């Protein structure tokens, strides 16, 4: 009888201390891959927004800065509950993992980029807020009308990133697009290539002439930069500031043009990442890992 109880306690303890392993992630892959494929860019955006203020598996869907993310939160949540993933990992880990899977998915369809170029290994241990997956908290997401100094201050204060890492992480905007109904902006950064993950964000930023346009109305202006010569893409102020010392007013209109604005402190990094895709991917991987580790918890490696 005594032996029976000890064996039971040992077995229970073994279950309790069993951590997340790669076989668990392989099971999660199978269940969520379709959703990830259908929402690649939006899931990468979710993984970023969740980690501003610390990755905690909680999103304030009533914050206009999160417009466009509710659908993926719902789709991921349905799979999380249906498959009892809560026994394996927190939602914060789950969103971080979905973001990583989305990056791998984008790499897999991009010529000239190998999965091994993305040097990101998954660690577990992020802790959810009590009301996951939703919250009323406002984590102060970054504005799209930032200058280079403001943007690098944001990444330094919130993530401890240096300037090169700040410029590298913005390259995620090579994926996906902006929508008038979400943010009020229009178009994709790299037209026709919103599902590819390469350094064209930087090459395009350097090669195009950019013309400033208000794509919304006078009362709620949305100043963005459209490619002048062809329909190749758009840039937010928070993108073009990596290259140019924009002079923005309170509405985001720049007093200087691409020709008259000087270079910003990020220009050398933009050039470096346009020149070498592998350098960008190396720096991006490091910045992504930093971003996905923000918060008050301890991350650990997978068990197997
Ligand atoms: C200063 C920092 C940033 C600002 C101001 C910013 C702003 C924006 C805006 C305005 C949109 C358009 C949303 C919409 O209209 O649907 C967007 C989309 C996106 N952002 Fe960012 N972003 C920033 C940083 C990041 C970072 C660090 C990542 C990822 C590492 C990221 C990934 C994305 C992706 C993938 C999309 C496209 C989403 C889709 O197509 O559904 N962003 N961002």
- The protein residue with its alpha carbon nearest to ligand 1, atom 4, reads 144
CATH annotation of 148-289: 1.10.420.10
Per the prediction, the chain carries an average pLDDT of 94
What does the domain layout of the chain look like in residue ranges? 18-139, 148-289
Distances (CA, A) of 250 to 144, 177, 240, 302: 12, 24, 17, 46
Question: Looking at per-residue confidence, does 250 or 2 come out higher?
Answer: 250
Report the pLDDT value the prediction gives residue 278, as an integer from 0 to 100: 95
pTM (two decimals): 0.95
Q: How confident is the model at residue 4 (pLDDT cuts 50, 70, 90)?
A: low
Q: Cis before residue 45, ω within 30 degrees of 0?
A: no
**Is residue 219 exposed (0-12), middle (13-18) or buried (19+ Cβ within 10 Å)?**
exposed
Is 148-289 the same fold as 18-139? Answer: no
Residues within 6 Å of ligand 1 by CB: 41-42, 44-45, 48, 68, 142-144, 146, 151, 169, 172-173, 175-179, 182-183, 185, 236, 238
- The protein residue with its alpha carbon nearest to ligand 1, atom 19, reads 45
User: Is the model's pLDDT at 5 over the cut of 60?
Assistant: no
CB under 8 A, 24+ apart: contacts of 79-83: 79/31, 79/32, 79/35, 83/28, 83/31
Phi-psi region of 12 (alpha: psi -120 to 50; beta: other; left: phi over 0): alpha
CATH of 18-139, one of 3.50.50.60, 1.10.520.10, 1.10.287.110, 1.10.3720.10: 1.10.520.10
125-155 pLDDT tens trace: 999 999 999 999 999 999 999 999 999 999 9
Report the pLDDT value the prediction gives residue 16, as an integer from 0 to 100: 43
Instruction: Point out the least confidently predicted range of 8-22, 96-110, 116-130, 239-253.
Output: 8-22
- The protein residue with its alpha carbon nearest to ligand 1, atom 2, reads 142
Q: How confident is the model at residue 53 (pLDDT cuts 50, 70, 90)?
A: very high
């Amino acid at each position: 009888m005594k032996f029976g109880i000890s064996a039971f306690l040992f077995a229970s303890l073994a279950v309790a201390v069993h951590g997340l392993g790669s076989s668990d992630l392989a099971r999660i892959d199978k269940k969520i891959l379709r959703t990830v494929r259908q929402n690649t860019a939006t899931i990468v955006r979710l993984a970023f927004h969740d980690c501003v203020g610390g990755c905690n598996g909680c999103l304030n869907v009533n914050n206009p800065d999160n417009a466009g993310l509710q659908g993926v939160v719902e789709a991921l949540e349905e799979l999380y509950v249906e498959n009892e993933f809560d026994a394996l990992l927190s939602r914060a880990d789950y969103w971080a993992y979905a973001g990583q899977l989305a990056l791998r998915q984008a790499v897999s369809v991009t010529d000239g980029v190998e999965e091994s170029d993305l040097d990101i290994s998954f660690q577990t241990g992020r802790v959810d807020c009590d009301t996951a997956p939703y919250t009323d908290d406002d984590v102060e997401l970054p504005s799209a009308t930032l200058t280079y100094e403001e943007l690098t201050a944001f990444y330094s204060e919130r993530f401890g990133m240096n300037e090169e890492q700040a410029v590298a992480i913005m390259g995620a905007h090579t994926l996906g697009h902006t929508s008038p109904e979400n943010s009020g902006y229009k178009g994709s950064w790299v037209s026709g290539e919103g599902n590819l993950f390469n350094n064209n964000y930087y090459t395009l930023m350097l090669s195009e002439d950019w013309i400033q346009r208000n794509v919304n109305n006078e009362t709620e202006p949305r100043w963005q930069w459209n490619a002048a010569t062809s329909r190749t893409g758009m840039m937010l102020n928070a993108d073009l500031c990596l290259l140019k010392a924009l002079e923005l007013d309170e509405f985001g209109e720049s007093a200087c043009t691409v020709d008259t604005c000087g270079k910003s402190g990020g220009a050398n990094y933009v050039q470096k990442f346009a020149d070498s895709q592998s350098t960008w991917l190396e720096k991006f991987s490091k910045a992504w890992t930093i971003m996905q580790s923000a918060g008050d918890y301890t991350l650990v490696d997978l068990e197997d």
